[in-house]
Chains A and B, each alone.
Chain A
Amino acid sequence: MEEAAPNYFLIIGGVLFVMLNVAAALIWVERRLLALFQDRYGPNRAGPLGLFIVAADSIKLFFKQDWIPPFADKPVFILAPAIVVVTVLMSFVVIPFAPGVIVADLNIGLLFFLAMSSMGAYSIILGGWASNNKYSLLGAMRGAAQMISYEVFMGLSLMGVVLLSSSFSLVEIVEAQRGLWFFIPQIVGFVIFFIAGIAETHRLPFDIPEAESELVAGFHSEYSGMKFGMFFIGEYMGITLISCMIVTLYFGGWLGPDFLPPVVWFILKTAFFLMIFILLRASMPRPRYDQLMEYGWKILLPLTLLNLLVTAAVVLWVNE
C-alpha cells in the first residue's frame, strides 16, 4: 500500500467534495447532453451555458416542502434515501483516482464495492415499502428482483479481471493493466459488467423500478423535497461510481500517455463513460420487466459463466 497517510483527511474531504459536486453537476450535464442528442438546446438561460441551473435546482430541492405521507412508515421512510447515498459514497472509498489518491486501498476492494452496491438495493426496497403505496411497492419489488438478478453476474463478470490480475485490490488491478487494458482480453466481461452496471444504478434502459410511464415514479413516488433529492443524487453518484469502476477495471484507471497527469486521465475516461450512460438514456427504449429478467438469467448469466471458464482456462494454459 502506498504511503498516503499524511494528507488522509484531505483525500477523504476531496473525494467527498468532488463526488457530491459531480453528482450536482450531472444534473446540468445530463440535461444539456440529452438536449444535444434530441436536437434541442437544454437549459441555456441561467448563467453561462445554463450552468446556474445546478444551483437553482438544488435550492429548489432544499426549499420544497418535505412532506411525509400520514400513511407512511415514518422512520423507514426517512432512512431509505440516506442508505442509497451512504452506500454509493462508501463504494468510492476503494476507487483509486490516481497513484496515492485513494481513501483506503483495501485488499478486498472489489468485494467491498460489490457488497456496498448490493446494500443499495435496500434503499429501494425500504423506500418503496415505507411509502405504503401500491405503485411504490411494485417499483420496489421490481427493483429488488432486478438488482438481485443483475448482482449475480455483475460479480461473476468481474472475476475475469481478478483472474488476470490475481488480486482483489483495485490499485493492483490498475497496475496489472500497464501492458494491456483489460477490456481487450475481457471484452465480454466488460460488456456484461456495463449492462449489469446500468441495471444496478437503475438507469434509463433499465429503469424498471421507476418506470414513470407505468408506475408514476415507482419507489420514490411519495418522496418530495430533499428526500427525493437524495435518491436523485444517489442515482447520479451511482452512475459516476459505475463509470469509475469500468475505468478502473477495464480501461486502465489512471494509466495513460505521460503528457497528462494520471488523475486527468482518470477523469477523462470517467467522463466518457458518463456520456455513454446519458447517450444510452437518449437512445434506448425500456424493456418489459419479464424481458429484462429473461435477458439477465437466460443470456447474460450463461455468457458470464462461459467467459469466466474461458478466462480461467487461458490463464491456466498461459501459466503452465
Chain B
Amino acid sequence: MFSLLRSMWLTFLHAFHKRETILYPEEKPILPTRWRGRIVLTRDPDGGERCVACNLCAVACPVDCIALQATEDDAGRRYPDFFRINFSRCIFCGYCEDACPTYAIQLIPDFEMGEYNRQNLVYEKKDLLINSEGKYPGYNYYKVAGMAIGGKGKGEAENEAPPVDIKSLIP
C-alpha cells in the first residue's frame, strides 16, 4: 500500500519536471552528425563532381531507388549523365554511402523533405548535387587514384610513383 502511494507521488512529481518533447516546427531537433537523412552528391575540392558513375550505389540499394547512366567527358573522366533518386522509395539505410568508392554520395542530417505531390520526391542530379565536399573535405578521387585521365598520366597522382617500365633493362 505504501509503495503504491509512493509511486503515485513520484508520478505526480513528474508534473513539475522538464518536458521531454521537442515542439518540432518551432524548435528544431539537434540531429547527430551521422544522421542518415537526405542523400546528396558532393563535389571535390576543385568543384568537379566526385561521382564516377560506377553504379555501386544503385546495386547496393535494397529498394532500387537509385538510377543513373554513366558517361565520359573529353578528358576521359567518368560522370553520371543523369542521376535520379526516388525518395518515395528510399529507406535511408545508407548502403549507398557505404558502397561509394569516391565519397560522392552522402547522407546528411536533413529529414524535412515533405511534398504534396509524390512526383516531386524524385530528385534529379541538379537537386542532388551540392556545392560542398561533405564529410570528407580535401578528398579528390582523381588526385589519388592511379588512373590516367586527360591532363594527368599514370603515377602522377599524390603519393604515387610512375609505373615501372617493364620493357626497359635499366634498374
Which residues of chain A have a CB within 8 Å of any CB of chain B?
36-41, 44, 279-280, 282-284
Number of A-B contacts (CB under 8 A): 33
Q: Which of B4, B14, B20 contacts A37 (CB 8 A)?
A: B14
A283 touches B23 (CB 8 A): no
B23 touches A38 (CB 8 A): no
B19 touches A39 (CB 8 A): yes
Q: Which of B10, B18, B19 contacts A283 (CB 8 A)?
A: B10
B11 at the interface (CB under 8 A from A): yes
Per-residue CB proximity of B94-106 to A under 8 Å, as 1/0?
0000000000000
Q: Which of B10, B12, B17 contacts A39 (CB 8 A)?
A: B17
Chain A's closest residue to B13 (CB) is A37
CB contacts (< 8 Å) of A282 on chain B: these are 11
Query: How distant is A285 from chain B, measured CB to nearest CB, in Å?
Result: 9
CB contacts (< 8 Å) of A279 on chain B: these are 8, 11-12
B170 at the interface (CB under 8 A from A): no
CB contacts (< 8 Å) of B18 on chain A: these are 39
- Chain B: how many interface residues by the 8 Å CB criterion? 14
CB contacts (< 8 Å) of A41 on chain B: these are 19, 21, 23
Q: How far is the CA of A37 from the CA of B16 in the complex (A)?
A: 8
Query: How distant is A185 from chain B, measured CB to nearest CB, in Å?
Result: 20
A280 touches B8 (CB 8 A): yes
Q: How far is the CA of A39 from the CA of B16 in the complex (A)?
A: 8
Q: How far is the CA of A168 from the CA of B11 in the complex (A)?
A: 37
Could you show 6 A-B contacts with beta carbons less than 8 Å apart? A39-B17, A39-B18, A40-B19, A41-B21, A279-B8, A283-B7
Q: How far is the CA of A38 from the CA of B20 in the complex (A)?
A: 9
Query: How distant is B23 from chain A, measured CB to nearest CB, in Å?
Result: 7
Q: In the complex, which residues 1-45 of chain B have their Cβ closer than 8 Å to any Cβ of chain A?
A: 4, 7-8, 10-12, 14-15, 17-21, 23
Chain B's closest residue to A282 (CB) is B11
Query: How distant is B170 from chain A, measured CB to nearest CB, in Å?
Result: 77
Q: How far is the CA of A283 from the CA of B13 in the complex (A)?
A: 11
Query: How distant is B169 from chain A, measured CB to nearest CB, in Å?
Result: 80
CB contacts (< 8 Å) of B8 on chain A: these are 279-280, 283-284
B11 touches A283 (CB 8 A): yes
A37 in contact with B21 given A283-B7, A284-B4, A284-B7 (CB within 8 Å): no
| Further pairs besides A39-B18, A40-B19: 18, Cβ < 8 Å | A36-B15, A37-B14, A37-B15, A38-B14, A39-B20, A41-B19, A41-B23, A44-B23, A279-B11, A279-B12, A280-B8, A283-B7, A283-B8, A283-B10, A283-B12, A284-B4, A284-B7, A284-B8
Query: How distant is B17 from chain A, measured CB to nearest CB, in Å?
Result: 5
CB contacts (< 8 Å) of B12 on chain A: these are 37, 279, 283
Chain A's closest residue to B23 (CB) is A41
CB contacts (< 8 Å) of B11 on chain A: these are 37, 279, 282-283
Query: How distant is A195 from chain B, measured CB to nearest CB, in Å?
Result: 10
Q: Which 10 A-B pairs have the closest CB atoms?
A: A283-B11, A39-B20, A283-B8, A36-B15, A41-B21, A283-B7, A282-B11, A39-B17, A40-B21, A37-B11
CB contacts (< 8 Å) of B23 on chain A: these are 41, 44
Query: How distant is B158 from chain A, measured CB to nearest CB, in Å?
Result: 53
Q: How far is the CA of A40 from the CA of B11 in the complex (A)?
A: 13
CB contacts (< 8 Å) of A40 on chain B: these are 19-21
Query: Quick one: which of B4, B21, B23 has the most chain A CB within 10 A?
Result: B21
